[in-house]
Structure formats: structure tokens, C-alpha cells
Structure 1
Amino acid sequence: MTGTAERREAHGKSEAGRPRTGWGGTAPQGGGEPGGDEPRYGHRPLWVEEPARRHPVPDPVRAAAVRAVLVIAVTLIQAMVAFLCTLAGSWLAFPMVMGGVAGTVVATWAVVDVWVTRQVWNQRHGVVSEPSSTARALRRERRARRRQERAALREQERIRRRGGAGQLSHP
């Protein structure tokens, strides 16, 4: 199938330009491809890709989050097994409880790792933030001060180039 035919099918039209018929797009479209003997079946996509509204989670943060979810899942399963072993009076109850305690510590560490990885990524790659009105006002004052300093320096340079003309006295 050509790229054009795939695009037409994705938009709900057959090769001949007719709309597809049948629920699920399984009705044969007469004749198939030009020169082909086999009937061609329509194709309706299961979903339509939409652009993300937010930026996706950065890869290092995603990896840390996946690790944390896996560790938490294993810890929960271990806790459930420890509980069932305790109810059954099995000798495995005590080792499983100790493993559950260790798993809780590791799971806490994994969650903290996600948080730290996210903070480090934001610090290294910048984070979108909206400064408060106070910060904006301070920045505005600093810019105005720098502008005045530059204007004064330009004025001094201009006076110096004219050879001191316009000054009442020379230092």
C-alpha cells in the first residue's frame, strides 16, 4: 500500500475516495488496489494521537519512578505473604516480616530517589516559573539603574570625544 493510500484510509476515505462502510471498517472495498485481484479491507484507527498538553516526564525521572513502583509492588506482595504466613502459623512468617521491614526502607528510599532526581533535573535543565511581583519589581529597578549607568557612561564618552567642549572646567 502506498503512503497516500494509508493517509486516505486514516482520514476515513477509501482509495477510490468513497467513505468506508461497516462498523469497524471491515467491509471490502470494491476491487482493491489498481491491478490487484484481492479485495481490500478498510482500516479505522483505534485512537487518534493528540499533542500532549504538558511536557512529558523527563527520562531519568521516569526511570526512577518505574523503579520505585516496582519496589513498592514487591514490598506490598511481601507484606501480604508475611501476613498470610502469620495467619497460617508458618515458620516463614518471621523472615517475611523482617524482609517486609527492609522492603519498606528500600521503598521509602526509592520514593525519595524519584523526588531528588526530579529536583536535580529541574535544577540542571531549568524550570518554568513565574516570578512574584516583588521579584519583577526588583528586576525592573535593576534594569532601570543599569540603563541610567550606561546612559551616563555614554554621555561621559561623548564629552571626552569632543575634547572637553561643554564642560565648565577641566579636572
Structure 2
Amino acid sequence: MGTAERRRAPEESVTERSQAGRGQRAPDRGIPAQVRAEESVDGERWQGYRTLWVEEPARRHPMPDPVRTAAVRAVLVIAVTLVQAMVAFLCTLAGSWLAVPMVISSVASTVAATWAVVDVWVTRQVWNQRYGVVSEPSSTARSLRRERRARRRQERASLREQERIRRRGGAGQLSHS
């Protein structure tokens, strides 16, 4: 149902609009909506039944798969680093012998977390360069590219012609008379 139909019928409820869009079926069970409205639960009717939300499929992922993988890896490494830093801090406050190894491992984890974040950035840049935004070249760039292609085509044609003459064994003669 489009915006025009909604504007014509403002008294129509959200439930009626959503059921009209779905073909009069309940979203979760496939039972016709009129049958469900007549069922009783603990003596009450479900007249105003509607779902809290309607799931819509995503048009596309917000990030490409390799970038998402690197981002998840980075988040996990950062989470472990934060836990290690907190344990090192608490061990230092408690005066435990475990404080020194935890501080050393926290420093190493901080380096790894930095590396993971840089990996996300580099992966994103590489993906954008390979598969990223398709830009419209300007007319100047397009014409220059067209001229370059024509020149290369002409050079290849002249090389083929010279090779053909060389294979014939002729010393520059084009006809046998």
C-alpha cells in the first residue's frame, strides 16, 4: 500500500494496513487474520492483534564480508585486551604476584589490538580499491582513454600487417606480377 492510499484512509488502523500489505495472513503462523481474531485466549478475543515489529530483509550488508570479519576479529582482541588490563589493574591493587605477568601481557595485547584495528582499516581500503565505488569519469578522461585505445589498436593493426608481409617473404612488394 503506497502513501497515496494511506492518505485517503487515515482512519484505517496500523493492523489493517499491515494485513493488507501481507495478503490478510497472520505474519507468524500463516493462519488467516479473520480466523485468528475469532479465536479466544482465556475468554478474550484477539481483535486488535498486531506484531510488535515487522522484519524486513536487509537490502545489503553495511560492510563487505572481509571487512566485517576483520572488524569482528578486532573487537574480540580489544575485548580480551580490556579484560587483561582490568585484571592487571586489580592484581596491582591487591598486591598479587600475578600483576607483573598481567601487565606484560596487557602491553602485548595492546599492540595486537592496535594491529587488529589497522587491519580493519587496511582491509577496508583494499576492498574499496578493488570493488568499491564505481565513479563516472569526466568527459575529458573518457575521450583521452578513447584516443589511447584507438592509437593502440592502430599500432597493433600495423604490426600485424608488417608481420603478414614478412611471412610472405616479399621485400615490401604487395602483389606478385
TM-score band by shorter chain is 0.5 to 0.7
1:15 lines up with 2:18 in the alignment: no
Task: In structure 2, list runs of 5 or more residues that go unmatched.
Answer: 1-22, 154-177
Deviation at 1:65, TM superposition (A): 0.7
Structure 1 residue corresponding to 2:75, chosen from 69, 82, 98: 69
Structure 2 residue corresponding to 1:139, chosen from 113, 137, 142: 142
Structure 1 Cα separation of the partners of residues 147 and 70 of structure 2: 45
Deviation at 1:50, TM superposition (A): 4.8
Identity of aligned residues (%): 65
TM-score (norm 2): 0.54
1:157 maps to what in 2? none
1:92 lines up with 2:98 in the alignment: yes
* More divergent stretch after superposition (137-146 vs 66-75): 137-146
Q: Which amino acid aligns with 1:140?
A: S
Structure 2 Cα separation of the partners of residues 76 and 31 of structure 1: 53
Structure 1 Cα separation of the partners of residues 121 and 111 of structure 2: 16
Preserved contact between residue 9 and residue 15 of structure 1 (Cα < 8 Å): no
Alignment of 1:144-159 (within 5 A): none
Structure 2 residue corresponding to 1:130, chosen from 116, 131, 135: 135
Q: Runs (4+) of structure 1 moved beyond 4 Å?
A: 7-10, 39-43, 50-55, 144-150
Preserved contact between residue 79 and residue 100 of structure 1 (Cα < 8 Å): yes
1:82 lines up with 2:85 in the alignment: no
SS of 1:62's equivalent in the other structure is helix
1:5 maps to what in 2? 25
Deviation at 1:51, TM superposition (A): 6.3
Q: Which amino acid aligns with 1:5?
A: R
Structure 1 Cα separation of the partners of residues 84 and 152 of structure 2: 68
Residue deviations 1:34-71, cap 9 Å, x none? Answer: xxxxx985752332345657752112211111111011
1:105 lines up with 2:111 in the alignment: yes
Residue deviations 1:59-86, cap 9 Å, x none? Answer: 2211111111011011011111111111
CA RMSD after TM alignment:
4.0
Preserved contact between residue 60 and residue 117 of structure 1 (Cα < 8 Å): yes
Q: Which amino acid aligns with 1:105?
A: V
2:37 maps to what in 1? 29
TM-score (norm 1): 0.55
Deviation at 1:149, TM superposition (A): 10
